[in-house]
Amino acid sequence: MGQVITLPKQKRSKVEITEDRRHAIVTGLCALVFLLGFFIAGPALAIYAFGFATTSHLGSAAACVGGLLVTWAITRQAYKHI
Instruction: Write out pLDDT tens, residues 18-64.
Output: 999 999 999 999 999 999 999 999 999 999 999 999 999 999 999 99
For residue 4, tell me if it sits in a domain. Answer: no
Rounded Cα distance between 31 and 23, Å, is 12
Residue 69: inside a domain, yes or no? yes
Residue 45 in any domain: the answer is yes
Check residue 2 and give its pLDDT.
Answer: 66
Tell whether the model's pLDDT for residue 80 goes beyond 90: yes
Structural domains of the chain, count = 1
71 within a domain of the structure (yes/no): yes
- Greater confidence, 51 or 7? 51
Q: Does 48 fall in a domain? A: yes
Distances (CA, A) of 47 to 10, 30, 52, 77, 81: 56, 24, 9, 23, 27
Which of these, 70, 52, 74, 54, lies nearest to 62 by C-alpha position? Answer: 52
Alpha helices, H only, the chain: 19-36, 42-54, 58-81
Is position 55 within any domain? yes
Domain of 49 in residue numbering reads as 37-81
Confidence category of residue 76, pLDDT binned at 50, 70, 90:
very high
Let me know if residue 53 belongs to a domain.
yes
Flag whether 77 is in a domain.
Answer: yes
Say which residue, 61 or 8, is predicted with more confidence: 61
